[in-house]
Structure 1
Amino acid sequence: MSQFATEFRRGWRPLLAAGIGTGSGVTGLSFYGFGVFVLPLVAAFGWTRGEVSAAASFLILGSAITSPIVGSVIDRFGARRVGIASLLALAVAYAALTTLQGSLAMFYAAWLLLALLGGGTTPVVWTRTVNLWFDRGRGLALGLALAGSGIASMFAPPLLTRVIADYGWQTGYLVMGAFLLMVAIPLVAILLDERPADRPEVASAHASTAAPNALPGVELADALRSLTFWKIGVGFFFVSAVVAALIINLVPLLIDRGLTPTAAAATAGMMGMAVLIGRVAIGYLLDRHSASAVAAVVLGSCALGCVVLAMPDSSSWMLTISVLALGLAAAAEVDLVAYLSSRFFGLRAYGKIYGWQLTSFYLGAAGGPL
């Protein structure tokens, strides 16, 4: 049996746990479930849609703040304890949202606190586990794990919409918390193991939390002196800014190009499937081709898509292809940063290094739509 197949045969349980964690965390359930609460909160408190939607910026800001901190913690104590504790705190935060009384400032503070408490559920935690178990098949494994957020984007909105319509927005938040307590946390606790026996250097590093230096790679200080670190961070800052700006404004852009509102929404909806399929496909390609070449093709396609979106006489099929290219770029962002960080800098200080890269990514995403 090849090393590629062996890794997936032995590591499917932690891989599944990482996918569940990604889909259940702040970049999955919290982010993709946010939108269905906008109109109910507008009706309940008289806020505008813009005022409610602005809370998503605090979610992104909180994730940017916590990523390097959480990265340092998981390098020292491992991802399992941090991930489970953060999922538990996130469940409590959802319950706390049901106590909102109409203060917009408190609403923003609540979402910032939710992001801080849920900082241990971001990709920096779950991708570390994947990297420990997978080497030859790391790209595909990362794509599958991070596809958890894509699955959340498909199922969370319609299910939560039904719950809110029948029982109210408070029950919607309670259902999110209950899902974490009754499904996500037990499964992660059962499935997640950070000690692959077929990788002695990893197993020895986790035999004692005092031995993180047993893992291969460089320290954060060494990475900071590397031009590669800054190329990745700055490059994906701008990539995330562009992609986030396009996603936020995609439907209005398509309407400006002549599509009806219904057709624009349907075309934009194709991006979600492109993200889900793209994560797996791009991960597969990363295991077989140069990461730089894969990134160039995917992001170059997105750049061409931007040109098409800027053309006033683009046909509907050209706009559809542009949306699919945007979906592939959105799929590649976090996956590529995780893959490149592990390949260039190793696993010794992966949490710290990838944490800082994610901070750059989140700041770009927060500033892009402005």
Structure 2
Amino acid sequence: MQSKISTATQNKLSINYGAVIIGITILLNFASMSFFYSYGVFLKPLAEELGSSRTQASLPLMIFLFSMSFSAPFIGGLLDKYPIRRIIMTATSVMSVGLILLSQIQSHLQLYIIVSLFIGISIQGVGALATNKLLTNWFYRYRGLALGASAIGLSFAAMLMPILSAGLIASFGWRTSYGIFGLAIFLIVVPLVAYLVFTRPEDKGLIKDFNQQSANTTAADTEPLGINYSSRDILLSANFWKIIIVMGIPSGVLTAMVTHVVPYLSDIGFSDLQAATLFSTIGISALFGKVFWGWLIDRFDARIAILFALAIQAGGIWQFLISASYWQFTFASVVYGLGMASIPSFQGVLVAKAFGNTSFGKVFGYTLPGMLPFTLGLIYFSASVYDHLSSYDIAFYTFIGLFLFAALVTARLKLNKT
């Protein structure tokens, strides 16, 4: 009788372990982007103390993006080869040390070195790359839903870190605040990862999705792992470059909108508060949209779901062009935010469906530097258009055209049907 109770209890507990993995990835995504989403709050006091121009003080974010992108293939290869728990704990420790070291900097050179060698290079081992690899291992039929739920951590970071940072800086100053962040991330994340993270469900005697006992595994529950692709195979694959276009264009438009939408709204007559509120509306809409898109891509052909998301994003941009009142712009913000929420979950699903799970980390890692021309280029393009024409309209029309091009490429993607 005791044996039956023990078995029933074990099964009951194991049913929810997938939710535990999603929960820890939400935390990891939050922690990984804490530096990025709080840096704007630190920028002014940091610049004043170091005697920086705004350009000098803003340069670390560019360094961060480059370091994060170009270290991703290396980190992805490690995630494919070694236990994910070990990689996340190591990367979290490096990032935490970097944040603590920021509290001691005395020059711009020290700032740039720490951001590139400690924070930027470790981010993918804590956040998106590591969490996508972990969730791809743990989920199959509900992979999109898991990836979408995990990305909520990014939205929480965007909403909470500026407020939390401002409060800490007001109370303790920017140096102590960086030290607090570094120590808190290490003390919270590392023990939880050490105790809760397993590379695969098989490591706990479970299978993907429903976390049933391995003895109950059926052929329908088993995902084909794919093959081990070399770097050359990946970079010569037409499918890889199609994914770069399909995901790079929405990501590039997103970075441009994040950078320029508040100035755009201010230019056409809205107050700073109204412009900031409309920008926040995009983030709130995206927060609720992430799980929806994950659910959708699990139930329909991935290409159909992507086409739908691209159409909604283009519709949101078009609404920005034709709106005249505050409430029309609010609607535009909701529409665009809902559409762009698809990006985090779609990227991981596309890589898995195109290349399988064995080389997921390496392939996903290569997508990040591959997308960099879009993510940085469209920021510069938007600014250049405004500088020459005193209007963002041409940039917005270009975004709509790029979404159409991404839709044409989406139709030619070759993906596994399962």
Please name the residue that 1:83 is paired with.
88
Please name the residue that 1:333 is paired with.
343
Please name the residue that 1:210 is paired with.
none
Task: Give the direction of change, closer, same or farther, for the CA distance of 1:8–1:347 in structure 2 (3 Å limit).
Answer: farther
* Aligned-residue offset at 1:175: 1.3
Please name the residue that 1:143 is paired with.
148
* Aligned-residue offset at 1:155: 1.8
Residue correspondence of structure 1 range 55-74 to structure 2 within 5 A: 55-74=60-79
Provide the C-alpha distance between the structure 2 equivalents of 1:362 and 1:125, rounded to a whole number of angstroms.
19
- Map Cα deviations across residues 220-267 of structure 1 (whole Å, 9 max, x no partner): 345445432211112322222221111101101112233222111111
Residue correspondence of structure 1 range 174-213 to structure 2 within 5 A: 174-196=179-201, 197-199=205-207
Contact 2:309 2:340 in 1 (8 A): no
Matched, 1:173 2:178: yes
* Aligned-residue offset at 1:305: 2.1
Q: Which amino acid aligns with 2:51?
A: G
Task: Give the direction of change, closer, same or farther, for the CA distance of 1:9–1:119 in structure 2 (3 Å limit).
Answer: closer
- Map Cα deviations across residues 292-314 of structure 1 (whole Å, 9 max, x no partner): 22222222221122223334x63
Matched, 1:127 2:145: no
Please name the residue that 1:361 is paired with.
371
Judge which range, 41-50 or 142-151, deviates more: 41-50
- Map Cα deviations across residues 198-238 of structure 1 (whole Å, 9 max, x no partner): 339x9xxxxxxxxxxx9711333454454322111123222
Q: Identify the match of residue 218 of structure 1 among 227, 251, 263.
A: 227
Provide the C-alpha distance between the structure 1 equivalents of 2:13 and 2:317, rounded to a whole number of angstroms.
41
The number of aligned residues is 350
Provide the C-alpha distance between the structure 2 equivalents of 1:52 and 1:39, rounded to a whole number of angstroms.
8
Contact 2:96 2:185 in 1 (8 A): yes
Q: Which amino acid aligns with 1:285?
A: L
* Aligned-residue offset at 1:7: 9.1
- Map Cα deviations across residues 303-349 of structure 1 (whole Å, 9 max, x no partner): 122223334x6322222222223323432223211111112211010
Provide the C-alpha distance between the structure 1 equivalents of 2:227 and 2:71, rounded to a whole number of angstroms.
22
Q: Secondary structure at the match of 2:141?
A: coil
Task: Give the direction of change, closer, same or farther, for the CA distance of 1:368–1:112 in structure 2 (3 Å limit).
Answer: farther
Provide the C-alpha distance between the structure 2 equivalents of 1:50 and 1:120, rounded to a whole number of angstroms.
28
Please name the residue that 2:408 is paired with.
none
Provide the C-alpha distance between the structure 1 equivalents of 2:127 and 2:344, rounded to a whole number of angstroms.
11
Larger Rg: 2
Contact 1:240 1:368 in 2 (8 A): no
Please name the residue that 1:208 is paired with.
none
Provide the C-alpha distance between the structure 2 equivalents of 1:337 and 1:218, rounded to a whole number of angstroms.
19
Residue correspondence of structure 1 range 189-268 to structure 2 within 5 A: 189-196=194-201, 197-199=205-207, 216-221=225-230, 222-268=233-279
Provide the C-alpha distance between the structure 2 equivalents of 1:314 and 1:11, rounded to a whole number of angstroms.
46
* Aligned-residue offset at 1:152: 1.6
Over the matched positions of the two proteins, sequence identity in percent amounts to 27
Matched, 1:319 2:329: yes
What is the CA RMSD across the aligned residues, in angstroms?
2.3
Q: Which amino acid aligns with 1:230?
A: W
* Aligned-residue offset at 1:51: 2.8
Matched, 1:109 2:120: no
Contact 1:223 1:229 in 2 (8 A): yes
Please name the residue that 1:211 is paired with.
none
Q: Which amino acid aligns with 1:105?
A: L
Matched, 1:286 2:294: no
Contact 2:31 2:127 in 1 (8 A): no
TM-score, normalization by structure 2: 0.78
Residue correspondence of structure 1 range 9-88 to structure 2 within 5 A: 9-25=16-32, 28-88=33-93
List alignment gaps of at least 5 residues for structure 1: 203-213
Please name the residue that 1:296 is paired with.
307
Where relative contact order (Cα < 8 A, 6+ residues apart) is larger, the structure is: 1
Q: Secondary structure at the match of 2:379?
A: coil
Task: Give the direction of change, closer, same or farther, for the CA distance of 1:8–1:248 in structure 2 (3 Å limit).
Answer: farther
